Chain A
Amino acid sequence: MKVLVPVKRVIDYNVKVRVKSDGSGVDLANVKMSMNPFDEIAVEEAIRLKEAGKAEEVVAVSIGVKQSQETLRTALAMGADRAILIVAADDVHTDIEPLAVAKILKAVIDEEAPGLVLCGKQAIDNDMNATGQMLAALTGWSQGTFASELDIEGDSATVTREVDGGLQTIKIKMPAIVSVDLRLNEPRYASLPNIMKAKKKPLDEKTAADYGVDTAPRLEIVKTSEPETRKAGEIVGSVDELVAKLKEAGAL
């Protein structure tokens, strides 16, 4: 079985974004970018499937600006076998919507015929939580979202999902789209020798047009604004003072 892992280049999770004063978006120039943290978990899971003899090949794919190459090299250094970059934008501020991403991934699936797609639950930039579900719709495959455990046995997979009330376990038919949650595994760091080796692994470059997918956004961004900010309140000196203040504020 081949496993396809879509990885997105996003702002590093430690960086606090700044909204541009003219409301045109957020400032991503000269900001540290990394692999979406959920996608690191997806890459890790794919590599573990390969190490367990359940997968033969792990293919990482990224859609976006040319710089997404770096994100793919990270996936290769972690242990993916090869990578596909689909250039769909030349401005780092252009975000390709999940629907368009899913359409491109569907075309990649038609070519690559993987048995499993492991993607992140959510990209931490657009916070959409949509691509995996959309890809499952377009392929007509089953979906196991927000996975915290994954067990593949032949033509089905058992997926434990993080849901509002706790955990839900379902059994899904393969091929499938699985989106991973935080507790599925702890991703490894790439070792220096593996980073060196990754430079020689194959990285194909394509464009969205190669797959005939129109990436024009369906959601026009009218404006981007700062959220209301809270100001720091007061530091109280004791538990008694805290209780008094809360009573005064009507909170108790």
Chain B
Amino acid sequence: MAVLLIAEVQGGELAVDATAKALTAAAQMGEVTILCASEGCAGAAEAAAKLEGVSKVLCADDAAYGHDLAEPLADLIVSLAGDYEHIVAPSTAASKNVMPRVAALLDAMVISEVTAVVDANTFERPIYAGNAIQTVKSGDAKKVATIRTSTFDAAGEGGSASVETIGAAANPGLSEWVEDKVAASDRPELTSAGVVVSGGRGVGSEEDFKLIEGLADKLGAAVGASRAAVDSGYAPNDWQVGQTGKVVAPDLYVAIGISGAIQHLAGMKDSKIIVAINKDEEAPIFQVADYGLVADLFEAVPELTGKL
């Protein structure tokens, strides 16, 4: 069975971690062809060709695909769909935007956030903020799915697939890109970081979030936040961890001033080791933490940062 895996390409470069993790899931469904669609994506296609277990890479280099606009990209994917039984992508913001559109154009139901491949037609996915796991069997001729990358190991490198350049599909011209507001950062990317330090409403201000960032930098960690911290303007939206934010599963997750609402736990409870620092010993976060410290974060965090 043939699988088309839509690579995550950011600014013309392959997002290796997300793509390689989705590849591990895709390879359990059949023989994998990777599509790189972006502007100036030849380098991304070369990088994708080196991933272990890829049989072919398609490279669609066109300005229409430069900014993750759903309409032109969906039309391109649909134009290629005839050759594949499965069309999958890592569940990034870009693919959550486009894959349901692709599925509907193919009269298929999208299977969002797959966490396990049982067989080529049967998948597990979390529902209700991860409080239940559903096993679903797709009866559609084409299976369109997004893969929750935090549950799959990344495929290795060492492949040498051929790269084929393909033309663009007609652009329906329904949308245009205006601007991106992306903060440059030297920190590791949140969804692939080995250590994540997150702050919640308890941190109290944007200013004091520097405490969280300082600890993160000491640990070489990415910074995360609860929804309350983002809503209050202490942290940018792309730091939100949870049911409706990012899902992370690092080796070490440090939750500071976060109560542990189910919507937050949905995004981090698969972390290997969880540390919670909270002044309320009743906070639900302690029910999932491996190590809990009941303390005022304004004392504990500087002390911890100092002692590392």
Seen from chain A, the residues whose Cβ lies within 8 Å of a Cβ on chain B are 11, 13, 16-17, 19, 26, 38, 97-99, 102, 121-122, 124-138, 140-146, 148, 158, 161-173, 181-183, 217-227, 230, 232-236, 238-240, 242-243, 245-246, 249, 251-252
Contacts and interface: CB of A to CB of B under 8 A. Distances in A.
A142 B177 contact: no
B174 interface: yes
Contacts of A169: 177-181
Contact of A164 (B67, B94, B104): B94
Identify whether the interface residues of B are mostly helix, strand, loop, or mixed. mixed
A170 B131 contact: no
Interface in B105-126: 105, 107-113, 122, 125-126
B133 A162 contact: no
A240 B307 CA distance: 8
Interface size class of B (residues with CB under 8 A): 35 or more
B238 A164 contact: yes
Contacts of B183: 166
B188 to A, nearest CB: 14
Contact of B130 (A170, A227, A233): A227
Interface stretch (B20-28, B79-87, B135-143, B202-210): B135-143
Contacts of B97: 133, 143, 145-146
A249 B128 contact: no
B237 A162 contact: yes
B27 to A, nearest CB: 22
Contact of A242 (B68, B101, B173, B275): B275
Contact of B293 (A97, A122, A172, A236): A236
Contacts of B180: 165-169
A182 B178 CA distance: 22
Interface of B: 10, 67-71, 74, 92-94, 96-105, 107-113, 122, 125-140, 172-183, 191, 219, 227, 230-231, 236-238, 243-244, 246, 251-252, 262-263, 269, 272-275, 281, 286-295, 300, 303-304, 307-308
A164 B185 CA distance: 13
A218 B108 contact: yes
A246 B103 CA distance: 45
A234 B132 contact: no
A233 B138 contact: no
Contacts of B134: 221, 223-224
Contacts of A99: 103-104, 107-110
B127 A183 contact: no
Contacts of B125: 127
Contacts of A127: 112-113, 125-129, 243
